[in-house]
Amino acid sequence: MQGIDFVVAWVDGGDPEWQRRKAACQGPEQPEAREERYREWDLLRYWFRGVAKFAPWVRRIFFICDQRPPAWLRQENEKLVIVRHEDFLPEEYRPCFSSHPIELNMHRIRGLGEKFVYFNDDMFLLRPVKEELFFLHDLPRDSALLDPVPTTDLCDRGEQGRISTVPLNNCEYLNRDYDFRTVLAGQRRKWLNPGYGKGAFRNLMLMSWPRFVGFHETHLPQAFLKSCFEEAWDQDYDILDATSRHAFQDDRDVNQWLIRERQLAEGKFVPRATKTGAFFDLARDDFDAVKAILRQKISMVCLNDGPMGTEAFLQRKAEIQEAFHEILPEYCEFERTRNS
């Protein structure tokens, strides 16, 4: 069985050179992105320590960055591959300051295997995990949970930013490519799996609609088949190409959730229970996030940045770092020590 790769995308928004390139590309007509979209929490070393300790079976780690990697990162590690934007993004899609083109073009990374797990740099492993958490019988593990897209979010531009339109756009193209009733008829057991708990009942209620109404997105590490990206580009080249040409996030964009939803529609997944991890908004859930890290009762966590003042940010940053250091205090194979 071919091994499983990890892909993680990272950006240090405090890097002056990166800020200069971003400002030069942005232009006066482009609205300024929220500070927290690029803010650095200095947690990357705990991402690598978590992978080294809790998922030592990983085949390779593809580390996407468009700036100088941290000095402490041991780049010569045989499992680690540094991926620059020019290594996989076509010239017409660069420069890029949006996660969407990066996510939609990951299949172009040289050497990436058919089976891989995509992490944002705010997603972490908290306890030992087996390969079966992400793949089983060479198929991604996932939960096909329907969830109507709340269009009221579109009115809350200041707090939600441009991400609000993405689920609507994804849903539009999924319905263009797949007939909802046909999908359900061929794989009803996968959509009404008892492991979904109350989600299975919600799926049953929403099956009365003639179209996909939207999906529950967990904001956790996502398992993908590289071939599903290639198939999506064959079928949805128009929107994937258009999104990839946007240097900054745009209301018309789709993202990697569309590929995930195509995998669900194709039945290319093995059902998985929903309680595998948790999402925390650090602007309001920092205490719960610290508690979850220290208790290590869940396998994965997403620590999403949110609007907060500088004083609150620095305090919460210190608290989160201290919690991670409590469970992952030792250097790992991907770090340079003081003596190396």
Q: 332 in a domain, yes or no?
A: no
Per-residue pLDDT of the chain (340 residues; tens, 9 = 90+): 579 999 999 998 888 888 899 888 886 555 545 555 567 888 999 999 999 999 999 999 999 999 899 999 999 999 999 999 999 999 999 999 999 999 999 999 999 999 999 999 999 999 999 999 999 999 999 999 999 987 665 555 544 444 578 998 999 999 999 999 999 998 999 999 999 999 999 999 999 999 999 999 888 999 999 999 999 999 999 999 999 999 999 989 999 999 999 999 999 999 998 888 999 988 887 889 999 999 999 999 999 887 888 888 889 999 999 999 999 999 999 999 865 5
Q: 22 in a domain, yes or no?
A: yes
Q: 192 in a domain, yes or no?
A: yes
pLDDT at 143: 96
Q: 277 in a domain, yes or no?
A: yes
Q: 339 in a domain, yes or no?
A: no
Three-state SS string over the chain comes to: CCCCEEEEECCCCCCHHHHHHHHHHHCCCCCCCCHHHCCCCCCHHHHHHHHHHHCCCCCCEEEECCCCCCCCECCCCCCEEEECHHHHCCHHHCCCCCHHHHHHCHHHCCCCCCEEEEEECCEEECCCCCHHHCEECCEEEECCCECCCCHHHHHCHHHHHHHHHHHHHHHHHHHHHCCHHHHHHHCHHHHCCHHHCHHHHHHHHHCCCCCCCCECCCCCCEEEEHHHHHHHHHHCHHHHHHHHCCCCCCCCCCCHHHHHHHHHHHCCCEECCCCCEEEEECCCCHHHHHHHHHHCCCCEEEEECCCCCHHHHHHHHHHHHHHHHHHCCCCCCCECCCCC
Q: How many domains are contained in the chain? A: 1
Q: Which domain holds residue 96?
A: 5-327
pLDDT at 155: 53
pLDDT at 151: 67
Q: 97 in a domain, yes or no?
A: yes
CATH code of the domain containing 224: 3.90.550
pLDDT at 161: 46
Q: 18 in a domain, yes or no?
A: yes
Q: 63 in a domain, yes or no?
A: yes
